[in-house]
């Protein structure tokens, strides 16, 4: 099963928080609030009530171990993103995000400039300006709702730059 690209936008904040979720990830299992899921590619989505998940954990203890593994993986990813915000410039954060979303197969990233801006914590106008600079430098190709990586090596170099 390939990873599901799902963006979760938390409502009621000044800046929407976008999170990439992979299949079988514990989405909002332990928290409550207003959230909107935006599917960004074809997928099958399974939704379980909190009661059903709690029953599954009690009946299948191995599920709780897997959930802990997934939560630890997500915590590591969140810590990496927090470090990126603290120590990387916006161009480096955009480069890092594009490379992560494109994956090992360097697939096109099917997101809007606003989506990218939300993911890296900047304004859409800033993201658009930086993406246009990346296009001018031959790092990416921009199409409507589609960003293709043209030079992954140079984009990786940019992603590694610290402030």
Domain that residue 141 falls in: 89-163
Q: How many domains does the chain have?
A: 1
Contact call for residues 93 and 85 (beta carbons, < 8 A): yes
pLDDT of residue 23: 38
pLDDT in tens, the chain (163 residues): 444 444 444 444 433 333 344 433 444 444 555 555 566 666 666 667 778 878 888 998 888 888 888 888 888 988 998 899 899 999 999 999 999 999 999 999 988 999 899 889 999 999 999 999 999 999 999 998 899 999 999 999 999 998 8
pTM (predicted TM-score): 0.68
Residue 29 lies in a domain: no
Judge whether 106 lies within some domain. yes
Report pLDDT for 18. 37
Q: What is the rounded distance in angstroms from the CA atom of residue 113 to the CA atom of residue 115?
A: 5
Q: Is residue 28 part of a domain?
A: no
Residue 58 covered by a domain: no
CATH of the domain at 108: 1.10.10.10
Q: Is the dihedral of CA 6, 8, 14, 15 positive or negative?
A: negative
Distance, CA of 92 to CA of 28 (rounded, Å): 29
């Amino acid at each position: 099963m390939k990873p599901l690209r799902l963006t979760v936008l938390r409502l009621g904040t000044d800046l929407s928080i976008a999170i990439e979720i992979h299949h079988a990830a514990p989405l909002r299992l332990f928290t409550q609030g207003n959230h909107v899921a935006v599917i960004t590619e074809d997928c099958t989505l399974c939704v379980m009530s909190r009661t059903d998940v709690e029953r599954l954990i009690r009946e299948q203890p191995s599920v709780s171990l897997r959930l802990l593994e997934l939560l630890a993986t997500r915590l590591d990813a969140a810590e990496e993103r927090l470090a990126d915000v603290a120590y990387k410039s916006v161009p480096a954060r955009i480069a890092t995000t594009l490379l992560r979303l494109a994956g090992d197969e360097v697939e096109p990233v099917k997101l809007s400039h606003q989506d990218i801006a939300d993911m890296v914590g900047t304004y859409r106008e800033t993201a658009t300006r930086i993406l246009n600079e990346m296009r001018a430098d031959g790092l990416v190709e921009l199409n409507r709702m589609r960003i293709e990586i043209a030079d992954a090596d140079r984009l990786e170099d940019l992603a590694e730059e610290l402030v």
